[in-house]
Amino acid sequence: MSHPQVGIESTQQEDRLFAPPPEFCAKAWIQSREQYDRMYRESIDRPEEFWGKIASELKWFKTWDRVLEWKLPDAKWFVGGKTNISYNCLDAQIDAGRGDKTAILWEGEPMAQGTPPEVRHISYKQLREDVCRLANGLRKLGVKRGDRVTIYMPMVPEAAVAMLACARLGAAHSVIFGGFSSQAIVDRVEDAESSIVITADGGFRRGQVVALKNNVDEALIKTSRVKTVVVLKRTGQPINMTAGRDVWWNDVIAGQPATCDAEQMDAEDLLFVLYTSGSTGKPKGIIHTTGGYMVGTYLTSRYVFDLHDSDVFWCTADVGWITGHSYVVYGPLSNGATTVMYEGAPNYPDFSRFWSIIERHKITTFYTAPTAIRAFMRAGREFVDEHDLSSLRLLGSVGEPINPEAWIWYQQVIGHSRCPIVDTWWQTETGSIMITPLPGVTPTKPGSATLPFFGIDPAVVDRDGVEQPANAGGLLVVRKPWPAMLRGIFRDQDRYFRQYWTDVRGFYFTGDGARRDQDGYFWIMGRVDDVLNVAGHRLGTAEIESALVSHDAVAEAAVVGMPHEMKGQGVAAFVTLRSGFRPSEALKKELLEAVVKQIGAIARPDQIRFTDALPKTRSGKIMRRLLKELASGGEIRGDTTTLEDMNVIARLSTADEG
Ligand code: WT7
């Protein structure tokens, strides 16, 4: 990749500031800016001391010899140390007296008229038993240290049990999101050289049954690598069981002892592979190792979410994403927290489902994605207002820049202006949260991920690595290694080096554009590959989108470049409306004016298209690449295996043009 020009122009004006509520600060782990500044300085000036201290809060079978060995692009953390993350998430919590505390609080999707949904409370003791039985059963099936186990499951507790069982045995897991099709399974199983798949007969999603086992069967026609398929019974739908290959989960665990020693893993042993599509081409198997990932997810969970024993923590991500790995499973459990898992869709049976879950389980901390927040805004606040959300004390956002309007709605309608919001910037590759407010410390500005977490040294630079002045847009890099960073791309270390370490020499390049304001706050401007170049001005997509979303009628907006004779690139905007609003020429004019007023004539869209929905990846990110092809008058080509709803494309192609 090369980005010949950087200097991205920033035009966003947002000066609202929200101080953390004093009641929150009074009980927070980190309470003052002075405390943050002191700890941050220490973490940057003496990282080995800082991270060594944090790591000793966890359990190690053998202490490390050196905290860090760094030779770009290879980092080794806690060298020589031996530990096990499953041991830290289970045994260490039971030893600390949390045996009877709920580890996983799960709610299933189905909700027949008037009857409450299925709910399970799984204690730390019970969870350890479940994990040990499965680990023993997997061992009997031949799984051993160093193997890769593919997990393709619905959002049920057994998905977490399977991950923890692999970690206990020292086998790496490769979780594939249950919404992916059979081809995704083929590619990932092949790349990971995985000979065992753990799946379920099916899962419930938006009132439908997802045929997981069928997808696996279809995939295994195209690859002969897989020898064993473990099948959990969840829906009870009829499925085919292939003799000699397929075994029921219940038969695997039957008669297995409820204890199983955790393997003593080297800190740098592979913990998992997680495939991410990147913007183009073949999926990359991002690899994370044991010790550093454990320390990074442990500390960020504790401080960013201010986790206390009384918290009920709900991260809505699927375990198929890094957010699910780090903040549904490993981070909360290594802190002894209660982590909530919900099986189904946010709008099943209707848009009040999330709020009823929060009310029913008295959830204190809620972490979700801007795409979800915008969908709730669009549906209307009446779904929220019928529920008691007074248990909430903290809200989080992750996955995309959150438009200031969505931020304010989240803060007022969900948080009742009582709860701090942590807008957390990070990536599959970074493993843990990197740029974020600390909820008891950082005054927040809607739309900014604010300041670096401890030990993280991000900067906004030009191509030569020179730091940009305040408010000038540039490339977001990280200048120092951190514990949970990726260690590479599975079986492709060249690609790892090229992809992340060559754009800006000496630094990790995130692929994102950003600016840092006069207070040192980071504002993420979107992927650099999406940046527009309009008449020689480089504009980030996020800012124009925010200007559109600030109009009352707009639920969501996606901006992409299109060829333009005069300007080189023109601006095309795809817009979805909130309920109660209809497309019209008058509305189009108002939207154009809103952009001109907030940003300037340079960003005035050349085209506004109204549409019912935007094409999204399964993790909710807008697929600008597809929109770009549409806006250029082209047809949709290229890889769409990560697309959420193929119909969206069909509808967009015929959408109103302006
Ligand atoms: C990309 C990483 C990390 C969890 C989920 C996504 C964008 C993520 C934010 C945020 C602005 C954000 C970036 C980043 N992103 N969080 N708070 N503000 N942008 O993981 O799929 O690896 O995507 O998501 O562009 O590079 P991912």
> Domains, the chain, ranges and CATH?
8-116+123-345+454-514 (3.40.50.12780), 531-653 (3.30.300.30)
Measure 278 CA to ligand 1 centroid, in angstroms: 12
**Mean pLDDT across 211-228:** 97
**Mean pLDDT across 173-183:** 91
Tell how far CA 259 is from the center of its chain: 32
Beta pairing class for 554-564 and 522-527: unpaired
Label residue 650 by pLDDT band (50, 70, 90): low
The answer to whether 209 and 235 are in contact (CB under 8 A) is yes
**Atom number, ligand 1, closest to the C-alpha of residue 402:** 18
The answer to whether 31 and 25 are in contact (CB under 8 A) is yes
- The protein residue with its alpha carbon nearest to ligand 1, atom 13, reads 400
How many CB atoms within 10 Å of residue 343?
22
Would you state the structure tokens that stand for residue 140, as one six-digit string? Answer: 């009997």
**Atom number, ligand 1, closest to the C-alpha of residue 423:** 17
Measure 534 CA to ligand 1 centroid, in angstroms: 25
pLDDT tens for 444-468 read 999 999 999 999 999 999 999 999 9
**Mean pLDDT across 197-213:** 96
- The protein residue with its alpha carbon nearest to ligand 1, atom 14, reads 427
**Mean pLDDT across 198-218:** 96
Question: Rounded CA gap, 379 and 401, in Å?
Answer: 20
Measure 59 CA to ligand 1 centroid, in angstroms: 30
Measure 399 CA to ligand 1 centroid, in angstroms: 4
DSSP H or E stretch at residue 80: none
Measure 657 CA to ligand 1 centroid, in angstroms: 30
Report whether pLDDT(104) > 50: yes
476, amino acid identity: L
Report whether pLDDT(655) > 70: no
Q: Among 425, 508, 642, 644, name the best residue to mutate to test ligand 1's pocket (greatest count of ligand atoms within 8 A of Cβ).
A: 425
Q: Among 175, 524, 531, name the best residue to mutate to test ligand 1's pocket (greatest count of ligand atoms within 8 A of Cβ).
A: 524
- The protein residue with its alpha carbon nearest to ligand 1, atom 3, reads 427
Q: Please list, in sequence order, all residues whose beta carbon lies within 8 angstroms of the beta carbon of residue 456, skipping any fewer than 6 positions away.
A: 434, 435, 478, 480, 482
Measure 99 CA to ligand 1 centroid, in angstroms: 35
- The protein residue with its alpha carbon nearest to ligand 1, atom 19, reads 400
**Mean pLDDT across 519-544:** 84
Q: Among 400, 622, 623, name the best residue to mutate to test ligand 1's pocket (greatest count of ligand atoms within 8 A of Cβ).
A: 400
Measure 398 CA to ligand 1 centroid, in angstroms: 6
**Beta pairing partners, 422:** 396
Report whether pLDDT(239) > 80: yes
Report whether pLDDT(268) > 50: yes
Q: What is the dihedral of CA 438, 409, 605, 630, to 10 degrees?
A: 90
**Beta pairing partners, 3:** none
Closest CA to 88 of 54, 121, 65: 54
Report whether pLDDT(321) > 80: yes
Report whether pLDDT(94) > 90: yes
Measure 80 CA to ligand 1 centroid, in angstroms: 32
Question: Rounded CA gap, 225 and 248, in Å?
Answer: 20
571, amino acid identity: V
**Atom number, ligand 1, closest to the C-alpha of residue 429:** 22
Report whether pLDDT(641) > 90: no
Label residue 657 by pLDDT band (50, 70, 90): very low
pLDDT tens for 589-599 read 999 998 888 87
Question: Rounded CA gap, 656 and 647, in Å?
Answer: 16
Measure 426 CA to ligand 1 centroid, in angstroms: 5
Measure 277 CA to ligand 1 centroid, in angstroms: 13
Question: Rounded CA gap, 166 and 260, in Å?
Answer: 12
pLDDT tens for 327-373 read 999 999 999 999 999 999 999 999 999 999 999 999 999 999 998 99
Report whether pLDDT(533) > 90: no
- The protein residue with its alpha carbon nearest to ligand 1, atom 2, reads 427
Share of the chain above pLDDT 90, in %: 79
In the structure, which protein residues have their CB atom closer than 6 angstroms to any atom of ligand 1? 276, 322-323, 398-401, 423-428, 449, 510-512, 524, 527, 619
- The protein residue with its alpha carbon nearest to ligand 1, atom 7, reads 400
Cis peptide, bond prior to residue 370, ω within 30 of zero: no
